[in-house]
Amino acid sequence: MDQSDPDSVVVRARNVSKRYGSVHAVDDVSFDIERGRIMGLIGPNGAGKTTLLKSVLGLTECDGSLSVLGFDPFRQRKELMREISFIADVAVLPRWIRVYQLLRFIETIHPRFSRQRAEDLLSRTRVRKDARVRELSKGMVTQLHLSIIIAIDARLLVLDEPTLGLDIIFRKEFYTNLLNDYFDGERTILVTTHQVEEIENLLTDVMFINEGKIVLQASMDALPERYVELMTSGENAERARRFNPIFERDVFGKKVLTFEGVGREHLKSLGDLRTPAIADLFVAKIKGVAA
């Protein structure tokens, strides 16, 4: 297992694969996630996102070489869990537990948990300490879980659809709190979500995964250079197609063409240029590859 420079590379995956029978849930994937980044892992349902996260968290065994903070996640799960925290899906907090029991449990078992901090965060919410989890609304359960996660001084935070099923107010609040209270530039976040628009402007990196393979991995800063979207119509659209757009769609009777690796100077005379939104780029990459 590669133990080198765990300080700058938080997750190092080399040829990671995971098969379920004949299905390749994750198919020969290699990537690095560096410290201090907020990486969005984006893919359609069944693309292998959750399997990949589970491998990173040591919840499932995988082939290839995977190192998280220098640990082999499956074999050193306990050690790893001291350094990272995760919210896997929503509503996995045990429903029978009371809030104060949960705090006492984690305080005893987790060396990096600050109960004081968790209580401070909870005091801002309507979560009562003697309430059972089953008595809380979905939004409050997420607030509780997030308060605990933020109160753990973890080097890597993994979020798997953390805001699924929440209303918009809680979703916004979730990410605001995450950025204000947790992220400090030293910590690393790996997040998957369907609601890409909501996290687009907080990501520093993005990774698209489809059918178990990574179809795009880039820093957000690099996207404008690599990808451009042209909105145009008629003859100009015809001309633009000569630059081999990776995807084309219709918006209000106009054509929107997405290009990869085509300089903006070639296109700017043909219509309006802009950097594609992550969601649009995602559709372009996934559907464009399929077409």
Partner 1 sequence: MIEGQAILVRRELWEHRSILVTPAVIALLVSLMAVTGHVTISAFNEQVVDVAILGASNLGPVERSAAINVMMIGISSLFALAMSVLTFFYTLDALYAERKDRSILFWRSIPCTDSETVLSKLTVAIVVIPLLTMAAIVVTHLVVLAVTGIWVEIRGANAWHLLWSTAPYLDNWIATLVVLLALPLWQAPFVGWFLFVSAFARRSPFLMAVLPILILPMLEKTLFGSTLLAQAFFVRSANVPLFRGLRTGDLFFYEGPGVPGIEASGFALLPLLDLSRFLLSPGLWLGLVVCGLFTSAAIYVRRYRDES
Residue 159 Cβ, how far from partner 1 at the closest point, in Å? 11
For residues 4 and 20, which CB has a smaller minimum distance to partner 1 in the complex? 20
Tell me if 163 sits within 8 A of 126, measured CB to CB: no
Segment 19 to 48, residues that bind partner 1, using CB under 8 A: 20
252 scored as a contact of partner 1 (CB under 8 A): no
For residues 93 and 220, which CB has a smaller minimum distance to partner 1 in the complex? 93
Angle at 205 between CA 70 and CA 38, to 5 degrees: 60
Each residue 109-148 as x (binds partner 1 by CB under 8 A) or -, in order, gives: xxx-------------------------------------
Q: Which residues have a Cβ under 8 Å from the Cβ of 258 and sit 6 or more positions away?
A: 227, 228, 229, 230, 245, 246, 247, 248, 276, 280, 281, 284, 288
- Here the tokens at position 99 are 């809030």
Separation between Cα atoms, residue 18 and residue 53, nearest integer Å:
11
Please identify, among the stretches 9-17, 30-38, 49-57, 64-72, the one whose residues bind partner 1 according to the rule CB under 8 A: 49-57
Residue 82 Cβ, how far from partner 1 at the closest point, in Å? 4
**Number of shown-chain residues binding partner 1 (CB under 8 A):** 34
Residue 122 Cβ, how far from partner 1 at the closest point, in Å? 17
Residue 98 Cβ, how far from partner 1 at the closest point, in Å? 8
Separation between Cα atoms, residue 191 and residue 84, nearest integer Å:
13
Segment 50 to 109, residues that bind partner 1, using CB under 8 A: 50-51, 54, 57, 59-61, 77-79, 81-82, 85-89, 91-98, 101, 104-106, 108-109
Provide the β-strand partners of residue 11. 33, 68
List residues binding partner 1 (CB under 8 A): 20, 50-51, 54, 57, 59-61, 77-79, 81-82, 85-89, 91-98, 101, 104-106, 108-111
